[in-house]
Structure 1
Amino acid sequence: MSRDLRSVIRGGRGLGLAVATALVTGGLAVVGAMWFDLPLRDPDGFLGPSWTRLPLILGLFMAADIVPRGVVRAKSVRGTPGALKQVIRERWPLSRLAIVLIALTSFYITYVGYRNLKSFLPVARQQSEDMALRASDQLLAFGSHPAEVLHDVFGTGVWAHILSWVYISFLFFVPISLAAALVWSRNISLGLWYTTALCLNWAMGTASYYLLPALGPFAVRSWNYADLPTTGVSQLQQGMLGARSSVMADPYATASVQSIAAFASLHTSIVFTAALIVHFAGFPRIVRATMWVFFVLTLISTIYFGWHYIIDDIAGLVIGAVSVALAGAATRGAADHLPSLAAHSGRRELASSR
């Protein structure tokens, strides 16, 4: 057995929980499609479907990791190809590439399973818990409507556009941060930790949707958001309502998926997950502060635009914290089995801080 293969097998143990989560989530999506006679979809997004978008982003990050180092190392234009090959051999041995591809595949399967199971929700769970969640909102906000309070505090002008940008940026943040963690981590266990935590977020989020199915305030109390200007969020909400109607009318006549579910907030859980990992991994102070600001603004935006009830965000915090803890326990020490990576990991390694 080659050294690279042994490294993949041993280091891959750190991805055991991510792989298991992918198999369970993906398997349930297949079973659900057969049980409810519904199509399986690869959900589209920016830059195309997930199966093309994720490898493309990963490839761009790998190029950004390799090319500058090769150019700096080369002593002439003719020497650049040789320098690039040397950088690839040092930074991207087969063991590391295989581990990264397994991690990316686990994320992809989990995410696609999550999106399909979420799309099956109106068929599988036809009742809505919005009334109960609205009551919890009034209780937690001392009789007020949380969104109206935020509209009074922030206004419905400039801040609506700022918070819309924050909310929409989540769609870019997840794949970009995943690629950055897998490619640019000096210690591969950071990337495995984050990947596993994301998989757990999708899986536990799916379970929460089925536990308390709900549409969210914007869908059941649209008049509370009539004063907000047209933003990327309002356009996204209208698009999601239209997609939901199309799927419910005839799921085989549309390529769309149903994407509306309130409890719990995965915007909250995933950004909280990223902020916790950045914090515990000892990133520079400016990075930690930026992530926490992004988290707070994301939390506010979920209520401001009526995506979620307060308790949805509380549940999101729980999912995020549990995901970080379980993923950390599952991946701790994974890089110890990848000596070819450790040799080139630089001065600061995550293993020393975990």
Structure 2
Amino acid sequence: MPKQELYFDNNATTQMDKSVLNAMLPYFTESYANATSNHLFGLSVGEAVDESRENIATFIGAQPKEIIFTSGATESINLAIKGLQHYSKKHIITVTTEHKAVLDTCSFMEHCGFDVTYLPLNKEGLLDLNLLKATIRKDTLLVCVMLANNETGVINPIREISKLARKNNILVMTDATQAIGKLAVDVSDLGIDLMPLSAHKFYGPKGIGALYVSAAAKIKLDSQIHGGGQERKIRSGTLNVPGIIGLGKACEIVSAEMDTNTKQITILRNHLEKELLKIEGTFVNGSIKNRLCNTTNICFPGVNSEKMKLALQNISVSSGSACSAVTTEPSHVLKAIGLSDAEALSSIRFSLSKFTTADEIELVIQKVTQVVAELRQKNN
């Protein structure tokens, strides 16, 4: 009989909530019309899309017209940043620990004539606001800082960053992919102009996401996908109706469950972390105070994380971003907050979900403790 799968890689993707799946199913087989068709069948499906858009907007404190549907956070990030190429200001400020989707897109913008400043962070993974202030120039167009880091879970002071940006007439984009569903996010309160999100990070389907575009900021984005202009003439392509319905339902569910989930997950994460830190030499990477409730990134000195993942067998954990998992290079995030190559290559991220149980936590504690001891013994 196969061993029970113990899934502790929820920052990479989450298990879909069955209620989300049930909400989506009719739009594969019964309500299958194109949402932009102008016959009654299409109009009825279009109404369901509109309802989902409203649910998403309400969830993040936005207006429905400010929600652009995309294939996911990576596309949303590309649209948000590349879509600003026509602006006369040509300076972007971001940080070294951003997701590769932001860093690679910023690199592309450098080839298009933009100047990009990559700010360092302190050992807790937090941005020095005085450094940001000193970096702002007259031609600074955009500040890109993620709301919560995908590897360490560290939460950035977006509200303070936005206040500083607004004083200087600078746009703010925050990648909220990891934060949505774990933190209460209100775009108006945080002062955000552009915000990508992705359904599969909070119990929704893969292949669907959205980009919030502030109406108040009067942002004009250049299209990256041309065609029918289905999404406010900014993003073309036949709408992924089942995915959109799933995204809306996922927002509805996590909104109702967030307080309960946060308390439950925090208790489990703290117990897991407390027990694993009993292993000699271990330490947490990044801020312990300012982070997501579900994430702990722990360094196990003297143990190679790739060998550890193989030895853990049925326990799924991560040694970096899922989007960078094809490489064996040390995490750019952990390197950026001061870890050595050896320390970064000895670190494991454990990320929990609402489906994680206390029994699973105990099994992981037992197995990780055993594996670390065995691997260290082999190295001696």
Which is helix-richer, 1 or 2? 1
TM > 0.5 fold call: no
Structure with larger RCO (C-alpha < 8 A, sep 6+): 1
Q: Where on the TM-score scale, by shorter chain, does this alignment land: which range? A: under 0.3
The alignment's TM-score, normalised by the length of structure 2, stands at 0.25
